A = this chain, B = another copy of it.
């Protein structure tokens, strides 16, 4: 089994399809080398297979030989040898997993230098300073990463050398001091490891490869994979590549370039570069960079060559690419490329524009798949509301959206504050992978240094978290910062705008997002794709919400919770009178008052959703939710005493008190005990619907029974509803069969039994709607109120649950019940309409589960409707792709050129 592949290896399939084997970086290096013929420094990739074998059983026996032979081939290609005292080859050793994990794993540069070869390098380059600077960097990097020497030890020495030399940057340190530094560094290594710094290039290489393997299981990498839901057993590949030097001279440089603007999606190159620098200097954000466009003046030939490469990359990858390049003494080398990360706005704009780009010709189906639900959400992020706030400074808008929180100056402090429930803004000079937990916990990120591709910017964009970077006027000192005369201390409020880069001291009010014009285009395409396959409705309980939902593109109401109407301040006393009623007449009178009130509620909703289905769920919560708190009444009774009215309420609260209200007398059970309640609600609804019909409206009413567990129960509830519908119609002199009113009667499927017995229940139900929130509670035995704090945190932390099942529906357990419910319901009643109205209805991954189960629609909160429309279309496309090429809407991948 081969573990090692040269970049120019002839693979049977396009290398970019071999990311699982070669890692993303290795696959793209091979693609650029062997398919596109771009100027890539030669090298080879050690596969992820080797890493997995290493993790299970240590260094694979066959690996040393294969690496040795690959090294020999590389040395032949370059005409140089590692460690050669005359003309040494230097290599970089970099990680590269299947999924991009930027900065999470380790890299070693300048490998191959030793006490002898550094002299060869000095001679060959006629640049002694360069040689010793490279050796100094190598010893420090190797020492830190492979030999676990604390990096500060090296940094401290470097700083004093710089100070002694009176230099403003490392470049000012004279060569003699660099030589001294190398000696001092080697002593540090000896002190820490008990052995001299390894001089044998073979040992160096093996050490570096093992360090990269090990870094797969480093704490940072594991935490990142947990957050990104990347499996832990994939392993990383290792790329060994001939070094080229952007730090040779002023005809050298290094940069990061995007084929389009990853923040806005605008066409044209975008990026940063630094003259006379190595790549790490750009990414670390330590030196402020120049924009890529400046290259045009400083290196016009290189600039033209780069633009040509960018065009070839875009047309080849059919997407925006992210590259790293180095100029070595006037020659351009491509070190890396990949499909670039982007903001939601950029993703949207590119997706739409690339359908018109002749070199790319994206189909609409592909375009729809280019924008993720998370990106759409991020696009819909809030912004600063209005103007008038005092901008204390402005940095680079690195990740859009506005955030408000209290300032914290370390990742630990920000995470702790978030743990206490505080909104935090993490303020750092610059960020590093060690800060990831704090960045994750914070509402937004502010850095004083670094550009748009600095660590802070890249990570924040990936997570859709607002970030302002490179706000150079910010001076951080301990747990506070100053901008001019303004001082902000830990815990002070801060507001940032990740689009404009504005930083405001204090709390700025936020407003809704204003997504770009391309959004409607893309959502229109998404609607076409999912039409007739997966509908999107909204959950709304009143007229304004329903109007809002319709504006967002909802195709009806999937869940109108009538209890919200009961809890209104003016209704509650009537509801309580109904509960306390001592006679049927008194109960009837209270119900009558409620009927009049509910009728208005229903009228507003039906008006807003005219012509679209509106699913009204009859009363669901246990009655004690409408009564005062028992414990409070008990205290009052024991202290000031209770009024007569309170005594009655106390008795009722005791009577209806439940140990586990979630599993108690609620939903249709309430209907069984108080059938007048449901009849009242149906009468109010039918009166509202009739009024709509009289006014020329087209109400489409779906009456939904909550919490059904048996067919008999559903049949009984159906009888009540049917009777109330008929009596209301006949009271109004309307014949049901002739009415323009469409009324169907269905049920929530929210208990495991209802899902299992869906075949029985479907015989009495015109439609099903899965209440996946309650279904999750009962399937897991998780009371959301009780487990989502301490317990869920512990479970996610220990990996006992991969996700919070209330956020992403549990595809294995709850998902199986949904699939069974759909299957059995439709077997009993072909064509049964089935939807979902839990909060999961707005979550893209859950939508995928629901689409695969064959649901007709999802329903979610109004503001998530756009996300659901997009995710629904993507789910439909995925299912079509799975169903086989015959049904695929998108054309097959464009053949790679030159093949």
Contacts and interface: CB of A to CB of B under 8 A. Distances in A.
A810 B659 contact: no
Interface stretch (A369-377, A798-806, A827-835, A858-866): A798-806
B774 A751 contact: no
A799 B639 CA distance: 46
Contact of A631 (B631, B780, B800): B631
Contacts of A782: 663, 709
Contact of A795 (B635, B638, B672, B707): B672
A672 B661 CA distance: 25
Interface in A523-576: none
Contact of A790 (B665, B713, B798): B665
A144 interface: no
A757 B716 CA distance: 34
B800 A713 contact: yes
Interface string A60-73: 00000000000000
A144 to B, nearest CB: 34
B774 A753 contact: no
Interface stretch (A301-309, A358-366, A811-819): A811-819
B663 A662 contact: yes
B709 A672 contact: no
A868 to B, nearest CB: 26
A778 interface: yes
B798 A752 contact: no
A716 B800 contact: yes
A781 B663 contact: yes
B712 A756 contact: no
A664 interface: yes
A795 B672 CA distance: 8
Nearest to A666: B781
A781 to B, nearest CB: 4
Contacts of A798: 672, 712, 716
A380 to B, nearest CB: 32
Interface string A581-608: 0000000000000000000000000000
A752 B777 contact: no
A660 interface: yes
Contact of A664 (B661, B760, B787, B800): B787
Q: Indicate the member of A658, A662, A753 with the most B CB atoms within 10 Å.
A: A753
Contacts of A709: 780-782, 813
Contacts of A785: 658-660
Contacts of A752: 752, 778-779, 813, 817
Nearest to A640: B638
Given A781-B707, A781-B751, A791 B658 contact: no
A198 to B, nearest CB: 39
Interface string A628-645: 001100110111000000
Contacts of A716: 798, 800
A799 B794 CA distance: 44
Contacts of A801: 710, 712
A778 B753 CA distance: 9
A888 B95 CA distance: 68
Given A710-B801, A778-B781, A800-B713, A790 B663 contact: no
A673 interface: yes
Q: Indicate the member of A658, A778, A812 with the most B CB atoms within 10 Å.
A: A778
A783 interface: yes
Nearest to A665: B791
A786 interface: yes
A669 interface: yes
Contacts of A710: 800-801
Instruction: Please report whether the interface of chain A is mostly helix, strand, loop or mixed according to DSSP.
Output: helix
Contacts of A707: 781
Contacts of A661: 659-660, 783, 786
Given A781-B778, A800-B716, A817-B752, A791 B663 contact: no
Nearest to A709: B780
A810 B780 contact: no
Contact of A757 (B751, B790, B813): B813
Given A660-B663, A663-B662, A786-B660, A781 B791 contact: no
A72 to B, nearest CB: 46
A751 B779 contact: yes
A791 B660 contact: no
Interface string A411-444: 0000000000000000000000000000000000
Interface in A755-802: 756-757, 760, 774, 777-783, 785-787, 790-791, 794-795, 798-801
A637 B638 CA distance: 10
A673 B794 contact: yes
B753 A813 contact: yes
A810 B777 CA distance: 20
Given A658-B786, A663-B662, A791-B672, A757 B812 contact: yes
A631 to B, nearest CB: 4
Contacts of A638: 635, 638-639
Nearest to A660: B783
Contacts of A665: 786-787, 790-791
Contacts of A630: 631
Given A669-B791, A672-B798, 16 more contacts: A631-B631, A635-B638, A658-B783, A659-B661, A660-B783, A664-B783, A669-B795, A672-B800, A709-B781, A751-B780, A752-B752, A752-B778, A756-B816, A757-B813, A760-B812, A778-B781
30 contacts: A631-B631, A635-B635, A658-B785, A658-B786, A660-B662, A663-B663, A663-B778, A663-B781, A664-B783, A664-B787, A665-B790, A672-B791, A672-B795, A672-B800, A673-B791, A709-B782, A710-B800, A712-B801, A716-B798, A716-B800, A751-B780, A752-B752, A752-B779, A752-B813, A753-B779, A753-B810, A753-B814, A756-B813, A757-B812, A757-B813
Interface of A: 630-631, 634-635, 637-639, 658-665, 669, 672-673, 707, 709-710, 712-713, 716, 750-753, 756-757, 760, 774, 777-783, 785-787, 790-791, 794-795, 798-801, 810, 812-814, 816-817
